[in-house]
Structure 1
């Protein structure tokens, strides 16, 4: 019997960020562990991750970079997805180019993780795949998929009523979050070490791109906080982050030892070792929850607003707002000062976040696909 073939259509860019491709890589690795052959199709936007995909051992077909500043126009009165500009071209062009790859691979499953595409694109490439999995976070457009994953906290199956076919299985909520297996493996140890909380190791992780330089603003805010003398700060960034050089220069001026790490492959261990994370409300949120990491959370994009607010309502993170707001640094200082010497608050944040996700999502989803 031949191996299952799976093709992923997802992009990374300075505008889109890295989260879509990274969670697809997590699923691809889980599928490969069960014998599947996985192939990626990605545009060469500035900030793409094609080499990262290849380094992980997956084949990848590169589509031409989109037009800078591309602005799509609605067709015959039919509105396009809100994020259509992210594609960098019209959906018909993308469908044609994607179909050329699909026709040679002939996948059993196509996995689509792209806010710019909907049922029109999915229908156009349908002759070239057997089953379709859509990974979404927005519930704002129609799909013709067989399986849909929305891993956001507060999302319910009924949110996709009328947006997917009746036969489609909808997996909603962080219990299905795509996390690498090391997070589940380290969960028990991480939760155990937080029974006696302290604040000696702070981890700052604002995603692979961090377009608004939230990292730099957080570091400036920390300078005005009474952190313990023996505190250490670790900053994790992507190689494509536009503010990487400035953050490295700022790290040297910090009153506490501050390291800047790029494209690390031991994120789970770094999170386990930290006492507090200051991070974005993106897909990394579920990694922090799995490990019960107390978190101050920034909202860096519109699609992160719901995640941040839902985690805040659960007491699973303390919101510090959006770095484009004038009061961002002040809010960061205030929130940090609240928990700096409050062990109970750290325990509460850890306990509430650990209840959100346990790291089993990848296994569950691969079972659906097989």
Structure 2
């Protein structure tokens, strides 16, 4: 048994794909599975994987794939270049295929589709009935040194700043930033990370100053150390933002390529940043200075690090490989379990989906800070029973809650769209009613409040046996009596 990782990297592409796939490689290797990188790139050697089995070749051809993939191979594809027909070839040849996607780029063939990012809600996927989808923060891929890291302190004065523009700095931003900042903030040390695909190394190194330290071709462990020593970072809005969140390092993101668009949307929606810069903004320098003036304030940096807590738990690679190696990637079994503190972010994302808020009694979007307080109180409350819905990989798929008052319990349910329309709601409500009756035998009535416009919910509760009792200005009250 072996696992082939098809990806790309180079001077114009960067190393983001290779970097995140390293974690999947390590997870596979740790389970005793032979793994190999197959890289389409313009280099003969990549230092980032020099100790891993790899081949640099243009794999975007049916002939190569047909000759190289064996029928019992697991295949992982992380690409912005491969055409849909190439994915179809890999899917047909492999024992099982897993596709990493950030932007809903194509219609994926049979397999597992993973979107390992914060910004998944705006992306629409097809083939929901034939593919397994692993989406969101639970599947963010971190390199092993960044798992469960704790920052020791937030310094009152900024002493070090990290500048990292990805593996290639395709827009030559590093010299622009250094020219703007190194003399203006002469007492601050600038840790400048130079990727091994930079074409502008000599120009960058021409900035000879005692407050600039260059770090070339750093390992993951070295990058973690630099992040922890830096008080904030100026970064491209790619994979590095997740490592910064994991190390609780405040950062100013710069969108340097279009596929970072959804990352930026998610950062703003979660209130993890106020402003994201764009490399081609004519006022880039002025906006950068403005953001630096904000982030140097210790209260702002403390606020940011607190927001980063629990966003990423670092178990994404494990969950992804669990799904790849399971006997069936798509199970028809769904489970109810008690909510845990780790579910806070998943519940937040689902609760803020437009289709969920549309039929809620309070239609306003929920703020992250308010949600964290609410969630913590709900878990501790004896007047609430909170279940989450998962599949066999423990992927969060929905929530089902009961608020208990005397001998009555008010039910609320919301599911991700990936499992709606399959008749699951009825089964899950029935299962939850069995659980709540066993757990709280004082309950005699279960109540559901439904908007009159929410046709699906009305049909759901009526099919389970709820009876309509009241209509208060378009809010329907359903009741289920327990004998």
Match of 2:461 in 1: none
Change in Cα spacing, 1:332 to 1:320, as seen in structure 2 (3 Å) is: farther
Offset at residue 107 of structure 1 (A): 4.8
- The structure with more strand, counted as a fraction of residues: 2
Of 119, 128, 135, 1:172 maps to 135
Q: Is the 8 A contact 2:138 2:312 kept in 1?
A: yes
The question of 1:52 aligning with 2:47 is answered yes
- CA distance in 2 between partners of 1:199 and 1:144 (Å): 49
- Compute the TM-score of the two structures, normalised by the length of structure 2: 0.63
Secondary structure of the structure 2 residue equivalent to 1:241: coil
Does residue 248 of the first structure (1) align with residue 221 of the second (2)? Answer: no
Which residue in 1 is equivalent to 2:303? 348
- 1:193 corresponds to 2:153: yes
Tell me, in whole angstroms, the C-alpha distance in 1 between the residues paired with 2:298 and 2:92: 57
Q: 1:180 to 1:173 in 2, by over 3 A?
A: same
**Secondary structure at 1:148 match in 2:** strand
- Residues in 1 aligned to 2:198 and 2:181: alpha-carbon distance in whole angstroms: 21
Query: Residue 435 of structure 2 corresponds to which residue in structure 1?
Result: none
- Which residue is 1:183 aligned to? 146
Does residue 1:308 correspond to 2:267, yes or no? no
Q: Which residue of 2 aligns with 1:20?
A: 17
Alignment partner, residue 153 of structure 1: 118
Q: Note if contact 2:115-2:135 (Cα within 8 Å) is conserved in structure 1.
A: yes
Q: Structure 1 233/136 Cα, relative in aligned 2: closer, same or farther at 3 Å?
A: same
Instruction: Select which of 226, 229, 234 maps to 1:278.
Output: 234
Q: Contact 2:4 / 2:38 at 8 angstroms: preserved in 1?
A: yes
**C-alpha separation between the residues in 1 aligned to 2:27 and 2:131?**
22
Q: Choose the corresponding residue for 2:8, options 8, 11, 14.
A: 11
Matched residue SS, 2:282: coil
**Of 278, 302, 308, which residue of structure 2 is paired with 1:322?**
278
**Is there any run of 5+ residues in structure 1 with no aligned partner, and where?**
65-90
Correspondences of 1:1-370 after superposition (within 5 Å)? 4-45=1-42, 48=43, 50-52=45-47, 55-63=50-58, 94-103=61-70, 106-156=71-121, 159-162=123-126, 164-185=127-148, 187-188=149-150, 190=151, 192-194=152-154, 196-223=155-182, 225-226=184-185, 229=187, 231-250=188-207, 252=208, 254=209, 257-265=211-219, 266-340=222-296, 342-370=297-325
- Superimposed CA distance per residue, residues 51-92 of structure 1 (whole angstroms, 9 cap, x where no aligned partner): 33651221325238xxxxxxxxxxxxxxxxxxxxxxxxxx5x
8 Å contact 1:217–1:323 — kept in the other structure? Answer: no
C-alpha RMSD of matched pairs (Å): 2.2
**Counterpart residue number, 2:453:** none
Asked if the contact 2:164/2:193 (under 8 Å) is kept, the reply is: yes
Deviation at 1:297, TM superposition (A): 0.8
* TM-score normalised over the length of structure 1: 0.81
Structure 2: 5+ residue runs without aligned partners? 326-483
d(CA) in 2 for partners of 1:173, 1:198: 35
Is contact 1:297–1:318 with CA below 8 Å preserved after alignment?
Answer: no
Distance 2:132 2:85 in 1: 20
Q: Is the 8 A contact 2:182 2:212 kept in 1?
A: no
Aligned residue number for residue 72 of structure 1: none
Q: Which one has a bigger Cα radius of gyration? A: 2
